[in-house]
Amino acid sequence: MPDPMTSSPASPKTDLRRADINPDFWYPLAWSKDLKRGKTIGRRFGRFPIALVRPEEGSVFALEDRCAHRQVPLSLGKVSGEAVQCCYHGWAYGRSGRCIDVPYLGKGKLPNGVKTYPCREAGGMIFVFPGDASKAESVPLPPLAQVDNPAFKTRHFSPVVKCHYTFLHENLMDMNHQFLHRRQMGQIKARFLGQDAGENFIEARYSFARTGNQQPLAERLIFGKHHDDPTREQPVEEIVSIRTTYPYQSLKIHDKDGDLIMELFSVYVPNTADGMSTQTFGLLSVLRPKTPFLIDLIWPALGIFTHRIFEEDREIMELEQNAWRELGGDHNVEVFPIVRKLRDLLAANGAAPGTDTTAQAEVSREQPADPVVV
């Protein structure tokens, strides 16, 4: 058996932007709809290229995306039956990662294979467990917003932001940055209501007050009109709770009756070897209004509205990352207590930089060959 990928915790002195994401969790690497039957696609989890394979029959599986022969990506290969064949010389690998055929060799002399990763599908996503595979069974998948609840309509999104994944956690948790979105959302001010924290999570709760301008149309369609008294600052009635449960993040909005009206799930997956680019996988679930079809009418407007806001966030996070690069480290001056706690949480749950998997790759090549099945 291949050795599990091992990770050690980041030290408190580690620059947060150098701490690796902890691999001992389930991470989505692709949307299910993007991997058709009989196809394979290549994705990355940080330094690790991973081929996702949907065989002609059976469930999706995930392999190290390097052929054991000359290390070209298996994701460029051809799926035949329940195996993937490398595009170069046609070596074939099954879901266990073992090499099961070399077209020009006798069947008894097969070389060893490649690493395999635990793989599952849920909520329209393909999840992989990149870390110690022996832990995969005991680590649950995260709650995926309201993706299976018919009372909600769910939008999927997966933008890439060229920054370390920790910037994304900070950005969403820190609602004091509404100033950035003043052109999209009008002038609103966050009120911090309280927090909860534990070993692997932190939650901040806010309400918002509109301090000027009109409520934007998209927001009004989603939440209903707020009858603000123009003579004084009015709290709007929803409570926004943002929670990082490492390594996932959620944002929930409850109305004045305490009913959930919107839920966002997001997870941030490093997709380059240096960890300075991150693919978000997000699910945004919105409670369907009582009027049937209204949700479908407002859906495109909601998409444009959320896209514009996210583009502002993306631009600003990439500027933060550029400053980190130019200054050679993290010069963050954080004054907001909840964000300081969040940074501690991310550092404590992250992994020490540069987990070396060379040994693991070597071990995987020492696997005994399977009996021939093709």
Minimum distance, C-beta of residue 260 to Fe ion, in the bound complex (Å): 21
Q: Is 67 in the site for ligand FES (CB under 6 A)?
A: yes
For Fe ion, which residue has the nearest CB?
Answer: 313
Phi, psi values for residue 5, rounded to 5°: -70, 125
Q: Which residues pair with 282 in a beta bridge?
A: 157, 266
Residue 163 as a binder of ligand FES (CB under 6 A): the answer is no
**The two structure tokens encoding residue 66:** 């390097």
Q: Which of 285, 305, 313, 343 binds Fe ion (CB under 5 A)?
A: 313
Contacts of 261 (CB under 8 A, 6+ apart): 222, 223, 238, 253, 254, 255, 286, 287
Which residue of 47, 69, 177, 181 would you call a contact of ligand FES, by CB under 6 A? 69
89 lies in the binding site for ligand FES (CB under 6 A): yes
Residue 170 within binding range of Fe ion, rule CB under 5 A: no
Contact flag: residue 91 with ligand FES (CB under 6 A) = yes
Would you say 72 or 122 has its CB closer to ligand FES?
A: 72
Residue 47 interacts with, from ligand FES, Fe ion, none (CB under 5-8 Å by kind): none
Binding of ligand FES at residue 88 (CB under 6 A)? yes
Q: Which stretch binds Fe ion (CB under 5 A): 49-57, 226-234, 308-316, 357-365?
A: 308-316
242 contact choice in ligand FES, Fe ion, none (CB below 5 to 8 Å, kind-dependent): none
Stretch that binds ligand FES, among 39-47, 63-71, 158-166, 363-371 (CB under 6 A): 63-71
Select from 86, 133, 145, 202 the one that contacts ligand FES (CB under 6 A).
86
- Closest distance between Fe ion and the C-beta of residue 81, in Å? 47
Burial of 10 (0-12, 13-18, 19+ CB in 10 A): buried
Residue 313 touches which of ligand FES, Fe ion, none (Cβ within 5-8 Å per kind): Fe ion
Does the protein bind ligand FES through residue 305 (CB under 6 A)?
A: no
Based on the shown chain and the rule CB under 5 A, indicate whether residue 64 belongs to the binding site for Fe ion: no
Q: Is 72 near ligand FES (CB under 6 A)?
A: yes
The correct pick among 11, 58, 59, 70 for binding ligand FES (CB under 6 A) is 70
* Binding positions for Fe ion, rule: CB under 5 A: 313
* Binding positions for ligand FES, rule: CB under 6 A: 67, 69-70, 72, 86, 88-91
